[in-house]
Amino acid sequence: MTSADDCIYPSDRLYLVEQDLWIKPLSDNVYRVGVVKPFLFFVGKPHKITVRQAGTLAKKNTMLAVLSNPRADAALLAPVDCYILETNQGLTPELLVKNPYEEGWLANIRVEEPLTKAVDSSAAAEKFAAINAERGVACLETLADYRFTVFGETCENILTQVGDFISRYLKVGESLHVITTDPATEVDMIAYAERTGHKLLEIKKIGKLLHVIYMRAV
């Protein structure tokens, strides 16, 4: 199922929207669990993934996994009391970003109570669309290293802040997801890349928000 913001939710599993998780039944009360892709666009590209150890009990609303990058740690919480049966030993940040719905799964769990809030892909797409709009999230082709939301009274002010962020935080080859709005336009953002030498990877307007991804080239 694909939502209006281009985020995909495979139909062969269920979703726990409040926890930003997908779950795939394996047997009675046993599920494979992972993170939905729009959450990655919200928190930024992970540099480290910590999953609760196999053989332990995760109480409801306690840490199931943590996605870490230089700017923040994002916790994924257990929806109910559950036992961690197995963790994905092959999981890497790169694999999670590339395929969060298959090889990038987090853990296999056994739940201690029914997952009454789990919904199918159609309902999940509708619910996540509202959440993504509130978070300023769009599912793009590229998951950038950094995310920067910037608004200003003038286009010049917006582009100045973008330039300052790139200079301060990004190394050559790293990417920045810029989220902005009027008065900046697609033409302005394209011209900025041409003027500065930074590579424009992607540009898309969804609703009132303009999403632009630059790669620092110089």
Domains annotated on the chain, with CATH: 14-135 (2.40.50.100), 146-215 (3.30.110.40)
Q: What is the model's pTM?
A: 0.89
Surface-to-core class of residue 10, CB atoms within 10 Å of its CB (0-12 exposed, 13-18 middle, 19+ buried):
middle
Highest mean pLDDT among 95-104, 128-137, 142-151: 95-104
Distance CA 46, CA 107 (A): 17
* CA separation for the pair 104, 192 (Å, rounded): 35
Q: Using 50, 70 and 90 to split pLDDT, how confident is the model at 4?
A: low
Cross-strand bridge partners of residue 206? 209
Predicted confidence at residue 207, as pLDDT, reads 84
What is the spatial distance between Cα 208 and Cα 206, in angstroms, rounded to a whole number?
6
Q: Which of 51-60, 129-138, 200-209 has the highest mean pLDDT?
A: 51-60
Phi, psi of 155 (to 5 degrees): -65, -40
Q: Which has the closest alpha carbon to 35: 15, 47, 21?
A: 21
Non-local (6+) Cβ contacts of 206 within 8 A are 5, 6, 138
Residue 71: what pLDDT? 78
pLDDT confidence band for 51 (50 / 70 / 90): very high
Percent of the chain with pLDDT strictly greater than 70: 98
